[in-house]
C-alpha cells in the first residue's frame, strides 16, 4: 500500500538557511518524535550557509 504525505509550513527565514538546518545530520534528533529516542552517534557537521556578496550560498549534506 502506498502512502503519501504533503505538508507546508511558512518560516521567517531564507530557504537556504532552512535547507542547511535540515541538511545537517546533527539536527536529526530535534526533528524526530521524542518517543523514538533518535540519536546521532557520528556525523560530519555541515557548516551553515556562507554569505557571498549579498546572496546565500547553501551547503548540502555530504558536501565538505
What are the tens digits of pLDDT across the range 12-51? Answer: 988 888 888 888 777 888 888 888 888 878 766 555 555 5
pTM value is 0.48
- Of the candidates 63, 58, 47, the residue with the CA atom closest to the CA atom of residue 16: 58
Show me where the domains of the chain are located: 15-57
Q: What is the pLDDT of residue 64?
A: 45
Q: Which three cell numbers stand for residue 29?
A: 534528533
Inter-residue contact 49 to 58 (CB < 8 Å): yes
Distance CA 50, CA 63 (A): 13
| pLDDT greater than 80 at residue 5 | yes
Amino acid at each position: 500500500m502506498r502512502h503519501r504525505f504533503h505538508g507546508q509550513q511558512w518560516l521567517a527565514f531564507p530557504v537556504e538557511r532552512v535547507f542547511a538546518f535540515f541538511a545537517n545530520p546533527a539536527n536529526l534528533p530535534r526533528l524526530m518524535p521524542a518517543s523514538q529516542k533518535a540519536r546521532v552517534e557520528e556525523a560530519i557537521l555541515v557548516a551553515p550557509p556562507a554569505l557571498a556578496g549579498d546572496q546565500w550560498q547553501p551547503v548540502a549534506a555530504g558536501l565538505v
